[in-house]
Copies of this chain bind each other. A is one copy, B any other.
Amino acid sequence: MARTPAPDTRDRILDAASDLFRERGARAVGLQQVIDRCGCGKNVLYREFASKDELVAAYLERCQEEWSAIMDAAIAPHDDAPERQLVELVRAAVQQVSAPGFRACPFRFTHAEFPDEGHPARKVAVDHVRKLRARLRDLATRAGAHDPRTLADQLTLLIDGIYSSGPMLGRRGPATVAVALADDLVRASCGRH
């Protein structure tokens, strides 16, 4: 034996690919650009990822992990107040689209970029929004909402609207009213008439 493969190779490639995909879109980025930014050999990329489609799917999986971490961090401080957690998830979304470099929701955008049903990235994207919806339903139930499914769907719609509206109308756009609206919805649905 002579040399052991660097264990962080996959992460390095994914770092480069994520930056590029996020700001330009997966379709607009060639693998050569990923190679160049990563500074690795092309064969190494193809050892770690079978195809560009797989790389895009891995990119979305990483987005999913980041998103989960953000959501966890947003709701952790209020673990005993699920109504508050619902509002905090909305606030976290607003903060994300308000970040300087935010271009579009990676899940919605990538899902639209690859219309073919079998594309591996689509599974990840759909899985993400389903998980989010389920999470909202769970919180709505624990918050004692009259109709947890409806409240969860209202908030899902609201969060989707934040991601969609943010990039086009900016920080001063409709997203500014989102947190207050979420608060109203939660309050209206969780007793406290």
Interface, chain A (partner B; CB < 8 A): 23-25, 27-28, 103-105, 107-109, 111-113, 115, 125-126, 129-130, 133, 150, 152-154, 156-165, 167-169, 173-178, 181
Could you tell me if A133 and B163 are in contact, using CB atoms closer than 8 angstroms?
no
Interface of A is mostly: helix
Q: Which of B113, B126, B160, B163 contacts A113 (CB 8 A)?
A: B113
**In the assembly, what is the distance between CA of A173 and CA of B152, in Å?**
11
Could you tell me if A157 and B162 are in contact, using CB atoms closer than 8 angstroms?
yes
Which residues of B have CB within 8 Å of A109?
A: 109, 112
**In the assembly, what is the distance between CA of A125 and CA of B165, in Å?**
12
List 30 interface pairs A-B (beta carbons < 8 Å), by A numbering: A24-B115, A25-B112, A27-B113, A28-B113, A103-B115, A105-B164, A108-B167, A108-B168, A109-B109, A112-B112, A112-B167, A113-B113, A126-B168, A129-B168, A130-B169, A133-B169, A153-B173, A153-B176, A154-B181, A157-B158, A157-B162, A157-B175, A157-B177, A157-B178, A157-B181, A158-B158, A160-B162, A160-B165, A161-B161, A164-B164
Which residues of B have CB within 8 Å of A162?
A: 157, 160-161
Question: A191: shortest Cβ distance to chain B, in Å?
Answer: 17
Which residues of B have CB within 8 Å of A181?
A: 154, 157
Select from chain B the residue with minimum beta-carbon distance to A147: B177
**In the assembly, what is the distance between CA of A29 and CA of B116, in Å?**
13
Could you tell me if A164 and B161 are in contact, using CB atoms closer than 8 angstroms?
yes
